[in-house]
Amino acid sequence: MRSDKIKKGFQRAPSRALLYACGVDNEDIHSKPFIGIASSFSEIVPGHVNMERLSQAAAKGIHAGGGISFKFGVPAICDGIAMGHEGMRYSLPSREVIADCVESVAMAHGLDGLVLLTSCDKITPGMLMAAARLDIPSVVLTAGPMLTGRSKGRRLSLVRDTFEAVGNCEAGKITESELEELTLKACPGCGSCQGLYTANTMNSLTEAMGMSLPGCGTAPAVSAEKERISYRSGKKAVELVRDEVTPRSIMNENAFHNAIVVDMATGGSTNTVLHLPAIAHECGLSLDLSVFDRISRDTPQILSLRPGGNYFMEDLDWAGGIPAVLKNLSGYVKDNNTVSGKRIKEIAENAVVEDDDVIRTHSTAYRESGGLAILYGNICPDGAVVKSAAVDEKNMKMSGPARIFSSEEEAVEAIRNREVKKGDVVIIRYEGPSGGPGMREMLNPTSILAGMGLEKDVALITDGRFSGGTRGPCIGHVSPEAAQGGPVAAIEEGDEIEIDITRRSLNVKLSDENIRERLKKCKKPERKVSGWLSRYARLVTSAAQGAVLK
């Protein structure tokens, strides 16, 4: 066992003494594997507040399976709380910190295996990156989605009923007291936000990749089933150690193919286009943006959850969860191993679709193609991403004058002051991975527009990111970013922008020569950056490469 290096032989007497000080039994220390539980428990992140209960269940499973459990902590950031201020600059960079934390503890203590307890947006990909990097037996345990809120007989979710409700309030459609009522009832308890935003998308894809047990991605945070899955995950981690099954034997090309298929079929978050390439990078694989677009063109969208649709994560779970999704995608996914010991095709074959409107078939699909599209053009030679599943059919092709902003704050102020009009194309630049720095997720401008009823009349383009909860013609990840001399920096107020999502194009009506001449005169805005974000800004790569560090 890997842990032998810290516990066996007379030379390791000091290490054993310290392990005994932690309560490790001297009769078990030599014969049982050491399983770390990397817990991202936090009392300020709703998707993580239930993790103490789940980590206890996982520890019981580890002990029942014949292992010794060791819980340790990693950081977690709530994107919803960090949204709209400088705190959001830390969200995407925290993915790298999380991977580094898990690596550090696992390597320093010679752990034999891991249970990776996660839930929200950057924590899950960070955990998967660590699993791939370490390549020691690991099970990912996602903590589960939040139940829907309720008010006056209506089901509520965070994005539509708080973020977008702010726009409704700004537009005078609801009163401040009505907004406060929604605020109080939209999030009734623990769990990751209720739709296919980034957290639940990544948790669903983790299951589709085979890195968590069947049902884990959708079982509600408050459910007893989630606790049972936690117990089973602990037992399975010990089994994986004994069978020498490592993450890279599961996270192969077939696994990433299946993750992208499920992503496109479910209409998942645009942020997966950052995270899956980053995880693949740690596996020693390359995942080009063109792969996402190719699979999207060939995969029907068979789910319609919020933000684009009206179903919720609990509906997906009741309808059969990711196994049922895989069943209806059996012709699109590739067979592969999973941490459960069952093959993907076996899981799909044994699944039951309990609601054929929540989980549709190819013949009854919401759309013939998938939920994301990769755009190219003279604004984004290296690509840009749009959640096409959340775009109305009539907005798949748009054009209009550019409204230029060099920060999210500038754009939000203009929107609130009614300076942005129907037909405008808002461009928010210098918010990319290095330019931000941190590639802020910008739900505020998109949700305010939606609340004002302008989500079908105003397009947004950015070299930053949009939330998984964004809907409407919102195009992010424009690469190269403005801070790195990308063409988006050359666009001026009033330039005509042409968007054609169906044809996968994004262009400004300028010649290549005009763009080159303008770029020579561009000056990057000065931003005071301190702490480790200054290091991040120097080391981070393009969004088209998953924003991994050099």
In this chain, the answer to whether the domains covering 32-144+187-350 and 373-545 adopt an identical fold is no
b/e map 8-33, b = 16+ CB within 10 Å: eeeeeeebbeebeeeebeeeebeebb
More confident residue, 68 or 308: 68
Q: Is the pLDDT of residue 23 over 90?
A: yes
Q: Identify the CATH class of 373-545.
A: alpha beta
Rounded distance between C-alpha atoms, residue 413 and residue 398, angstroms? 24
Q: Rounded to whole angstroms, what are the CA distances from 156 to 144, 153, 168, 187, 194? A: 18, 10, 15, 8, 9
First to last CA, the chain: 32
pLDDT band at 450 (very low <50, low <70, confident <90, very high): confident
Distance of CA 469 to the CA centre of its chain: 11
Rounded distance between C-alpha atoms, residue 43 and residue 374, angstroms? 37
When pLDDT is averaged across residues 170-192 and rounded to a whole number, the result is 95
When pLDDT is averaged across residues 91-100 and rounded to a whole number, the result is 98
Using alpha carbons only, what angle is made at residue 137 by residues 116 and 17, rounded to the nearest 5 degrees? 80
Question: Domain map of the chain by residue range?
Answer: 32-144+187-350, 373-545
Q: Which of 497, 470, 488, 492 is nearest to 543 (CA)?
A: 488
Q: Which of 33, 27, 5, 38 is nearest to 242 (CA)?
A: 33
The single residue listed with the structure tokens 């998953």 is: 546
When pLDDT is averaged across residues 191-209 and rounded to a whole number, the result is 96
Q: Is the pLDDT of residue 470 over 90?
A: no
Written as six digits, the tokens of 46 are: 């709703």
pLDDT digits (tens, 9 = 90+) for 428-444: 999 999 999 999 998 88
Topology of the domain comprising 32-144+187-350? Rossmann fold (3.40.50)
Mean pLDDT, the chain, as a whole number?
96
Rounded distance between C-alpha atoms, residue 51 and residue 334, angstroms? 32
pLDDT digits (tens, 9 = 90+) for 408-424: 999 999 999 999 999 99
When pLDDT is averaged across residues 200-209 and rounded to a whole number, the result is 98
Q: Is the pLDDT of residue 468 over 80?
A: no
Residue 307 pLDDT:
86
Residue 528 pLDDT:
86
Q: Please, are residues 259 and 209 in contact by the beta-carbon 8 Å criterion? A: yes
Rounded distance between C-alpha atoms, residue 149 and residue 161, angstroms? 9
Rounded distance between C-alpha atoms, residue 314 and residue 328, angstroms? 19
pLDDT band at 84 (very low <50, low <70, confident <90, very high): confident
Percent of the chain with pLDDT over 70: 100
When pLDDT is averaged across residues 445-460 and rounded to a whole number, the result is 89
Residues with Cβ within 8 Å of residue 246, at least 6 apart in sequence: 135, 136, 137, 138, 240
Q: Rounded to whole angstroms, what are the CA distances from 308 to 233, 272, 300, 513? A: 32, 16, 15, 39
Kindly state the DSSP code that residue 373 receives in the 8-state scheme: E
Residues serving a catalytic function are 467
Residue 204 pLDDT:
98
One-letter amino acid at 210 equals G
Rounded distance between C-alpha atoms, residue 436 and residue 537, angstroms? 8
When pLDDT is averaged across residues 396-414 and rounded to a whole number, the result is 96
Residues with Cβ within 8 Å of residue 523, at least 6 apart in sequence: none
Q: Is the pLDDT of residue 202 over 90?
A: yes
pLDDT band at 526 (very low <50, low <70, confident <90, very high): confident
pLDDT digits (tens, 9 = 90+) for 215-251: 999 999 999 999 999 999 999 999 999 999 999 999 9
Classified as helix, coil or strand, 13 is helix
The single residue listed with the structure tokens 């991977």 is: 99
Residue 460 pLDDT:
96
When pLDDT is averaged across residues 528-542 and rounded to a whole number, the result is 94
Residue 59 pLDDT:
98
Residue 308 pLDDT:
83
Kindly state the DSSP code that residue 251 receives in the 8-state scheme: S
Written as six digits, the tokens of 490 are: 């050359």
Q: Which of 371, 366, 479, 491 is nearest to 426 (CA)?
A: 491
Q: Please, are residues 94 and 77 in contact by the beta-carbon 8 Å criterion? A: yes
Rounded distance between C-alpha atoms, residue 74 and residue 397, angstroms? 43
Residue 447 pLDDT:
86
Q: Is the pLDDT of residue 529 over 80?
A: yes
Q: Please, are residues 383 and 375 in contact by the beta-carbon 8 Å criterion? A: yes
Cβ neighbours of 7 (radius 10 Å): 17
Classified as helix, coil or strand, 243 is helix
Residue 491 pLDDT:
98
Written as six digits, the tokens of 352 are: 């039951």
When pLDDT is averaged across residues 96-113 and rounded to a whole number, the result is 98
When pLDDT is averaged across residues 290-294 and rounded to a whole number, the result is 96
pLDDT digits (tens, 9 = 90+) for 486-500: 999 999 999 999 999
Residue 79 burial by CB count (10 A; 0-12/13-18/19+): exposed, middle or buried?
buried
pLDDT digits (tens, 9 = 90+) for 58-83: 999 999 999 999 999 999 999 999 99
Q: Please, are residues 361 and 258 in contact by the beta-carbon 8 Å criterion? A: no
pLDDT digits (tens, 9 = 90+) for 150-175: 999 999 999 889 988 988 998 899 99
The predicted model scores a pTM of 0.95
pLDDT digits (tens, 9 = 90+) for 314-338: 999 999 999 999 999 999 999 999 9
